[in-house]
Structure 1
Amino acid sequence: MESDRLLEMELMHRWSTRTYTGLYSMPADTPYFQTTIPHAALRRSYVMNSILAAAAVDLAVSAVEGPQAEKYYYMALKYGTQASAGFRTELENINEENLHILYHISALLAVWNYTMAGRHGSTLDRMHVIFDMFFGAATIAWTNPKWLTSVPSSSRDAIYLKPLTMDVVDANTLTALGYLATVSRQIHVRPIRTPIAMFNLEFETEGPLLASEAYRIPIAQLRYSFAEDAVDRIKGYVMSLITVGGPEFVAAVKAHEPMALFMLMYFGVLVNRSSSQETRWWLGTAGRDIVSEISDILENSPIARIPEGRLGMSWTREQVGLPPLADVGLGQSFCSLTEIESLFLT
């Protein structure tokens, strides 16, 4: 139909001028998403449907509400459903030619899923979808990293960047990151066993472990994410926490393990900063919402009864425009280390 053809032209234009920027990290991504991916879409229907689905949900979000928004949401659901089916079929045959496409389309479908789910549920629940699918994208990349980095994109260019030092981070933020480290050395975490839904895999941590040991790598990655944010050379770098943290961290977040959620409040600060950029059209108020929702969950947890935990929670709240936590009342007291361990492990 002529109307369908015109709509698809509108969606392709939206993709090439704005939608693709939702995944932009470095300059090499512009020609990749504007040229390489559209060329791949001419030969692979799941790629074309993914592009159209993402562009439609981008337009739906921009329209906010009303008949126009509903039209775009309908088209986003239609194309997204078709894209997901084709994507899963293509996953059965990962090779040198399609790995980079599958990797980036996996991330794109994560954005589509997150944005579509925005009409229902909490932001934290929707983040579980992002965590599952971004970890899924990493699993695709691990099939053969050389195949991924052989194609011009940020995935290739990022590996040649010189690592930053924490000297680029301001003193206030370094102090706040210190709270994170201090809390991690005071509590233990229980074993977590939760499936990674997209790949039907299960992982279990060895425990109980001191949080500083269990989350040593994701804490380091979260700290480094603030350095990258300070110089703004890789946009959206904080999302690397998902893949670097690994399946155990993803499982802990989904299980609402308190230390993992405390870390996610810092993650929310960086997400909030990313959402201020027009390119991250799909994030909306996600960063602020993450901090607010987790703050409510942790308010009565042992973390809020550790001085540095409460200071860290207040700092993240202030960073996203929320008031700090109220001071601990006279009827409350902070936990001793023994009390903290018993609260977390019972």
Structure 2
Amino acid sequence: MPVKKRISHAKSRSGCSNCKKRHVKCDEQGPPCANCIARESSTTCHFPSRRPATFSRTTAIIQRPSHSSSSSSNPSPTPPSHPSAPSSALVPTLPLHLDTPLPLTPTTRLLELELLHRWTTTTYRSFTSLPEDIPNMTLTFPRLGLRYPFLLHGLFALAALESSLTCAPADSARYLRAGMAYYDAASRSFRGYLPSLDGAGGDLQYSLYMFSALAMALYVGVPLCSRAVGVVGGEAGYGDEDVLEMVAQIFNLQVGMVELAACNARGLWSSEYGPALVRAEEIVKTPLPGGLGEDTEEALARMKRVVEAASGEEEGMYMQAWGGLKFCFTEEKRDLVRSLCIAWPTLAGKPFMQAFRNGDEVALWMLMHWGVLVHRMGRRAWWAMGLGKRLVTELSEKMMLSTIPEADMSEWWEGIAWARRHVGLDGMPSEPIISLAELTLAPSMLNLTSEEELPPEWGYTRDSLLNGSLLAP
């Protein structure tokens, strides 16, 4: 009797472990795959049969073996074989390490093309302070990204996070997951390229410096997008993060940027970023016509009286921070070098940074005023949405309970009321943060029917979308 021939079939031999257990066909597009998403088992979706060499372009770039210096076949410079121990101020990390980068598939290639297009047409705007920045953001960044993987993956990450806020709700989690994967890959690649601070120069120094700025936006943006998409804690690795801890990390990143710039300041000024630096210096040296306005002048005068009331060695530290805040309010009013307030930590100085970390209440009260500037920055930088308001909310409540001598001054309480008023607390209307016209994928959200509701974590409603503005949560 002839042996029955085995019938061929299309069974997947490289699916995820969950699909193998269920004996169902896996689409192999994860993790997580479509079946695991449908069965709400995304967190246990793994691909044991997938070898690291086939994971993604990310893994290929990071693990690429180094070549001899005489080789001309490698277009990308390899990381130094023995880099110095990276400073924590220069290397932001995800709370959850991702061991499974995006697979290198036609879908991933299309995603990267989409994200690069989004960066050069939309996302770069939230990262631009001057018109002179535009060629750097749209041309130089992508070009250098072809040589330095951390920069390219950083661009992909921020573009993906922005997409998660503006795409159709069904696609939000996919963009968020992609953004986190690219952020994780960029951060690990950045460590490999980080040289000794006195050895960087040219394009590498410029790329490291600009990625540090990108990392700050990513560090703030991932929790924002996680809350907006509804992925809080658990899979995303984020819970209700401490806003003061987040601000402390922003301060660390600013210190890291200064260290990178200082390792070869002349080289940075002569780089393609030089024209923007020259223009910014020209602007800030020009007197502000018309002054700051009565409301801001009074707020700064109140702050100065509180600072002058502080006794001991701390007064000089407070005055330096006060001078930095005045400078930031001046440039915010001038509105020619946008988002300059994010540099206040370096103007305030390291002693002030340490004071606020140690719980110095005068320093925290001053930090509350900076929160107003960060809140206003959210009008143009979507990744800063809500951060300033959260900072003012937490600090103002703490300052109301303060028992230090300065808390008995009327200026102390007037400062608290001023900060809360300017971020929309105490019944005051919140200011518009960012226009949907700035985010080109947003129209897909306008297809929602009137009965469909957006998640409350988003902090805005369908009506506010139709009115063309996102409101701070």
Q: TM-score range by the shorter chain?
A: 0.7 to 0.9
Asked if 1:155 corresponds to 2:259, the answer is: no
TM-superposed deviation, 1:167: 4.9
Please state how far the C-alpha of 1:12 moved relative to its aligned partner. Answer: 0.6
- CA apart distance, 1:166: 8.2
Amino acid at match of 1:159: E
Q: Does residue 243 in structure 1 map to residue 243 in structure 2?
A: no
1:289 aligns with 2:390: yes
Q: Distance in 1 between matches of 2:301 and 2:373?
A: 16
Q: Deviations over 1:289-339 (max 9, x none)?
A: 111111011111134332111111111111111229xxxxxxxxxxxxxxx
Contact in 2 for aligned 1:111/1:130 (Cα 8 Å):
no
**Equivalent pair of 1:28/1:152 in contact (CA under 8 Å):** no
The amino acid of 2:221's aligned partner reads T
CA distance in structure 2 between the partners assigned to 1:149 and 1:185 by the alignment: 37
The counterpart of 1:129, out of the listed 249, 257, 260, is 249
Q: Map 1:138-287; keep pairs closer than 5 Å.
A: 138-153=258-273, 154-161=276-283, 162-165=285-288, 167-188=290-311, 209-211=313-315, 213-277=316-380, 280-287=381-388
2:195 alignment partner in structure 1: 92
Normalised to the residue count of structure 2, the TM-score between the two structures is 0.61
The structure where helix makes up a greater share of residues is 1
| Partner Cα separation in structure 2 for residue 166 and residue 223 of structure 1 | 15
Which range moves more in the overlay, 110-119 or 31-40? 110-119
Distance in 1 separating the partners of 2:331 and 2:360: 26
* Preserved CA contact (<8 Å) 2:328 2:340: yes
Could you tell which deviates more after superposition, 72-81 or 249-258?
249-258
Larger RCO, structures 1/2 (Cα 8 Å, 6+ apart)? 1
**CA displacement at 1:245 relative to structure 2:** 1.8
Pick aligned residue for 1:11 from 90, 101, 115: 115
TM-score, structure 1 normalization: 0.82
Question: Can you list the C-alpha shifts for 1:6-34, whole angstroms capped at 9, x where unaligned?
Answer: 11011111111222222211111111010
Give, as a single letter, the amino acid of the residue that structure 1 aligns with 2:278. R
Alignment correspondent of 1:78: 181
Decide which structure has the larger Cα Rg and report it.
2
Cα drift, residue 62 of structure 1: 3.1
The answer on 1:319 being equivalent to 2:426 is no
Structure 2: gaps of 5 or more residues: 1-104, 227-238, 428-473
Q: How far apart are residue 37 of structure 1 and its match?
A: 0.8
Contact persistence 2:329–2:373 (CA under 8 A): yes
- For 1:83-122, list aligned pairs within 5 A: 83-93=186-196, 94-118=200-224, 119=226, 120=239, 121-122=241-242
The equivalent of 2:450 in structure 1 is: none
SS of residue in 2 equivalent to 1:234: coil
Contact 1:217 1:244 (C-alpha < 8 Å) held by counterparts: yes
Counterpart CA distance in 2 for 1:67 and 1:256 is 42
Q: Name the CA shift for 1:244/1:166 in 2 (closer, same or farther; >3 Å).
A: farther
C-alpha displacement at 1:103, in angstroms?
0.9
Structure 1: distance between partners of 2:296 and 2:308: 19
Question: Does residue 30 of structure 1 match 2:134?
Answer: yes
Residues 26 and 63 of structure 1: is their aligned pair in 2 closer, same or farther, counting only changes over 3 Å? same
Q: Which runs of 5+ in 1 are unaligned?
A: 189-207, 325-346
Using a 3 Å threshold, how does the CA distance of structure 1 residues 124 and 166 change in structure 2: closer, same or farther?
farther
Partner of 2:161: 57
Alpha-carbon distance, 1:232 to partner? 0.3
- For 2:134, the aligned partner's letter is T
- Percent identity between the aligned chains? 28
- Alpha-carbon distance in 2 for matches of 1:143, 1:163: 28
Structure 1 residue 163: deviation in Å? 3.5
Moved over 4 A (4+): none
Matched, 1:44 2:148: yes
**Partner Cα distance (1:255, 1:22) in 2:** 32
Of 312-321 and 166-175, more deviation after overlay is shown by: 166-175
